[in-house]
Amino acid sequence: MHKIALIIKREYFIRVKKKSFLLTTIGVPLFIIGFYAIIIAISLDESGGSDKNKIAVVDDAQLFNGKIENANPNIVYSIIKNETESNYIKKYQKAGYDAFLFIPNDSVAKTKSIYNLHSNTSMNLPLMSSIEETINEAIKKKTLIANGINPEAFQKMIHPVELENTVDTETGQKKSFADVAYGVSFACGILIYMMMLIYGTQVMRGVTEEKTNRIAEVMVSSVKPFQMMMGKIIGIGAVGLTQFAVWIFLMFLMQMAIPLIFPDMMQQINNASTTSSENISMASNIMQGLSSLHLGKILFAFLFYFLGGYLTYASIFAAIGSVVSEDQQEAQQLVFPVMMPIILGFVIMTKAVNEPNSSLAVFGSIFPLTSPIVMMGRIAYDIPSWQIVVSILCLICSFLFFTWIAGKIYRTGILLYGKKPSWKEMIKWAFAKS
Amino acid sequence: MDFLSLHHLKKYFADQKAVDDISFNISSGSIFGLLGPNGAGKTTLIRMITGIFYPDHGHIDFNGQRFNPMVDSTKIGYMPEERGLYKKMKIGEQALYLAQLKGMSKSDAMESVKKWFVKFEMESWWNKKVEDLSKGMSQKLQFVITVLHNPQLIILDEPFSGLDPVNANLIKEEIFTLAKNGATIIFSTHRMEQVEEICDHIVLVNKGNKILDGTVHQVKQDYKENIYKLGANVIAEQLMTGLFEVVKYEPNQLLLKLPEYTTTNEVLNYFINHQVKINSFNEVLPSLNDIFIKIVEDTTATRKFESIQ
């Protein structure tokens, strides 16, 4: 046990001390957060970011009655009186306008009409649709009034309905936040998928390196091959967990630090949310949704399925690393069949987040080669406990089984040079008596 | 006293009998030569002695007790033929790490590493990486790492390959010192002149079998062909005798092969009676190289793959 600890220590520190580890562990989240900060800053910056577009409107149809209801702060409308379309085309630029909109006289009566927006450079799409909306609203209002309907009364009539799902359990009722669960599930699934691949291949490369460096033979004269393999797997797994811990810590830190660094931004967010009630309800919905999830359960599941999945696949990857020598292409051929269940798991996960209780999702979350990814896609929803228990047991069994098999292949492979062994030979090693 | 005894060791792989019933003893404090052509089964044998492989059959006694790889591997230092170290790891850290894997405490390991680095003038290497070293330097490092933990049994597979004469001598002297201090050394090589110089006892294996076992002196005696070298000016007519057979004739020197019934004194008397002035007369023993080639050529040199039922 002392020796395995030494190996774990070496495998761990040699990776953690690397510059690339520091870069990915601290750099990546900083980069992501910085990226989002810029996006938020840009989207909040309603005045400065993009220029205001001045638009001249010649309203022949008296559509706006001299007053344009404008919700878009990037557009400034000015109604020009006593001009004709052909005349004003020559003038609007000189008058300081970016564009000129002409509304012909007969427009309101038509069911479908095309208006002309003149400009010297092409206008962007969001601006165009904003203008379209303004016109549509005005036409709607005018038509309603013309038909004797109070526009405000009409607005109340077509008020949209929101559907909320309440889940009835034995402990009582609670709201279901499918969209939040969806997001959390998907993020966890992808994270597990990525971590399993990244750290699994790291184990494989480490083993191949030991073999081609021929240090393996020196090592096995001091420690058992199984200790060597487990030391490497655990050491690299610990690197992964460290990375998680640093990431979570950084996220937490950022949440605390952002308001201190950008006091303006927080104010703007507050202002923005007080001005639009929609933002408030969305933000509070996400907060409520998050608190409705069992974060503890999800965190536990995440750690368990990461470790279970990682240990299962890392031992398979270690076995592959032990049988190939210099040629990386050989490794590719062997890795391919191992990648298939991982990718299959990912595909099932993308289905499972939509239909967490479909039979495919249930199967995928119990079958141990896909369960780490698929179960993470379901765990945020309320799923029957027996499925979680069965899935956990299956994963533990599979990881014991695969480590045992992989240890046997590793033991033979690590000291064997030259020709790559066939699958048949490897299976023979796997089940050989020691 | 025997430090290591191999009893009827067998190890069969899928398509060959790598080691097929080999037994021998190695006495404590001796330098033992394990010889054999390529693919004779030496590496497999060594891997069983170091506990990397379990024998299919037979057992090993280590220092008077049944060999237990879990415990005894810390008392063995093994320098494989294919050198191996972590290329990107600092040399000092690496030596410490490997010594600790051999069961030393960190402080003991540090003390030992420092002692050996000073002895071999390697102090300045501490923070270098193995990839910065030349082939000869890494060879020296590999040797130091093999003996760091004061092993009772040291197994050296071609320890001098790639070393210049000065460094080879340094390591050779170290091997003698280690043996004098009580370590048992197994020395595996193809270089017969080194074996003659260093080893007390040798075993020759070929095709998984032991074909020779004895001290260097004994083996040479066993394979001698009664050839004597006579330093004298002899004219051809004086050699017309049934006492001996001339193997090689040179103006000042003769190689004579004596039949079993002839004694050396009879030969000397013969020449003295013929008024020949004798400058020297001595027995020519075969070199280990000659013996090696002779024995191995008798069996086919390269192993054939065979199926094993």
CATH number at residue A67: 3.40.190.10
Question: How far B91 CA sits from the closest chain A CA (Å)?
Answer: 13
In a shared domain, residues B140 and B271: no
Task: Give the pLDDT confidence score for residue A266 in this predicted structure.
Answer: 54
Among A48-52, A279-283, B289-293, name the most confident range. B289-293
Exposure of A332 by Cβ count < 10 A (0-12 exposed, 13-18 middle, 19+ buried)? exposed
Task: Give the pLDDT confidence score for residue A66 in this predicted structure.
Answer: 73
Q: Among B286, B80, B299, which Cα is nearest to B196's?
A: B286
In a shared domain, residues A151 and A237: no
Chain A residue whose CA is closest to B90: A14
**Residue A322 near residue A211 (C-beta atoms within 8 A):** yes
**Residue in B82, B85, B101 nearest the CB of A222:** B101
Name the residue range of residue B230's domain.
225-284
Task: Write out the residues of chain A at the interface with chain B, using a CB-CB cutoff of 8 A.
Answer: 2-3, 6-7, 10, 14, 210, 213-224, 415, 425, 428, 434
Residues B95-121 have a mean pLDDT of: 92
Is residue A19's pLDDT more than 60?
A: yes
Is residue B131's pLDDT more than 90?
A: no
Which is higher by pLDDT, B261 or B154? B154
In a shared domain, residues B181 and B243: no
In a shared domain, residues B28 and B173: yes
What confidence tier does B147 reach under pLDDT thresholds 50, 70, 90? very high
Which is higher by pLDDT, A25 or A315? A315
What ipTM score was computed for the predicted complex, to two decimals? Answer: 0.80
Task: Give the pLDDT confidence score for residue A289 in this predicted structure.
Answer: 65
In a shared domain, residues B182 and B116: yes
**Residue in A2, A6, A216 nearest the CB of B97:** A6
pLDDT in tens, A191-229: 888 888 889 989 999 998 888 888 888 888 888 889 999
pLDDT in tens, A305-331: 999 999 999 999 999 888 887 667 777
What number of other Cβ atoms are within 10 A of residue A421's Cβ?
Answer: 17
Question: Helix H segments across A325-384?
Answer: 328-352, 359-366, 371-378
**Residue in A213, A215, A415 nearest the CB of B52:** A415
Is residue A172's pLDDT more than 60?
A: no
Chain A residue whose CA is closest to B87: A213
In a shared domain, residues A192 and A153: no
Task: Give the pLDDT confidence score for residue A271 in this predicted structure.
Answer: 55
Domain annotation covers residue B303: no
In a shared domain, residues A146 and A236: no
pLDDT in tens, A67-79: 777 777 778 888 8
> Domain total for chain A?
2
| CA dist list (Å): A308 to A311, A317, B60 | 5, 14, 40
Residues B186-215 have a mean pLDDT of: 88
Name the residue range of residue A357's domain.
177-430
Is residue A100's pLDDT more than 80?
A: yes
CATH number at residue B230: 3.30.70.1560
Question: How far A214 CA sits from the closest chain B CA (Å)?
Answer: 4
In a shared domain, residues B68 and B196: yes
Residues B247-262 have a mean pLDDT of: 84
Q: Among A365, A394, A395, which Cα is nearest to A378's?
A: A365
Chain B residue whose CA is closest to A211: B84
**Residue in B78, B87, B88 nearest the CB of A221:** B78
- Of B182, B202, B221, the residue at which a domain comes to its end is B221
**Does the distance separating the beta carbons of B84 and A6 come in below 8 Å?**
no
| The two three-digit tokens of residue A380, written as one number | 């945020």
Is residue A251's pLDDT more than 50?
A: yes
What confidence tier does B304 reach under pLDDT thresholds 50, 70, 90? low
In a shared domain, residues B75 and B211: yes
pLDDT over 90, % of chain B: 30
Is residue A43's pLDDT more than 80?
A: no
**Residue in B78, B101, B145 nearest the CB of A6:** B101
What's the mean per-residue pLDDT of chain B? Answer: 87
In a shared domain, residues A383 and A290: yes
pLDDT in tens, A257-276: 666 666 655 555 555 544 44
Q: Among B60, B73, B65, which Cα is nearest to B22's?
A: B60
Is residue A180's pLDDT more than 80?
A: no
Q: Measured in whole angstroms, how far is the alpha carbon of residue B11 from the centre of its chain?
A: 22
In a shared domain, residues B187 and B39: yes
Is residue A15's pLDDT more than 70?
A: yes
Task: Give the pLDDT confidence score for residue A275 in this predicted structure.
Answer: 46
Q: Report pTM.
A: 0.74
Which is higher by pLDDT, B60 or B233? B60
Compute the distance between CA of residue A345 and CA of residue A370 in angstroms, rounded to an integer.
4
Half-sphere CA count of B68, side-chain side, radius 13 A: 5
Domain annotation covers residue B207: yes
Chain A residue whose CA is closest to B155: A221
Task: Write out the residues of chain B at the interface with chain A, using a CB-CB cutoff of 8 A.
Answer: 14, 47, 50-52, 54, 70, 73-74, 76, 78, 80, 82-89, 97-98, 100-103, 145
A146-160, A280-294, B48-62, B257-271 — which is least confidently predicted?
A280-294
A113-117, B35-39, B278-282 — which is least confidently predicted?
A113-117
Residue B145 with chain A: CB contacts under 8 Å: 218
Q: Among A39, A297, A33, A319, which Cα is nearest to A185's?
A: A297
Phi-psi region of B183 (alpha: psi -120 to 50; beta: other; left: phi over 0): beta
Task: Give the pLDDT confidence score for residue B301 in this predicted structure.
Answer: 47
In a shared domain, residues A389 and A345: yes
Residue A7 with chain B: CB contacts under 8 Å: 101
Residue A216 with chain B: CB contacts under 8 Å: 84
Domain annotation covers residue B292: no
Contact partners, residue B122, CB within 8 Å, separation at least 6: B91, B116, B140, B141, B144
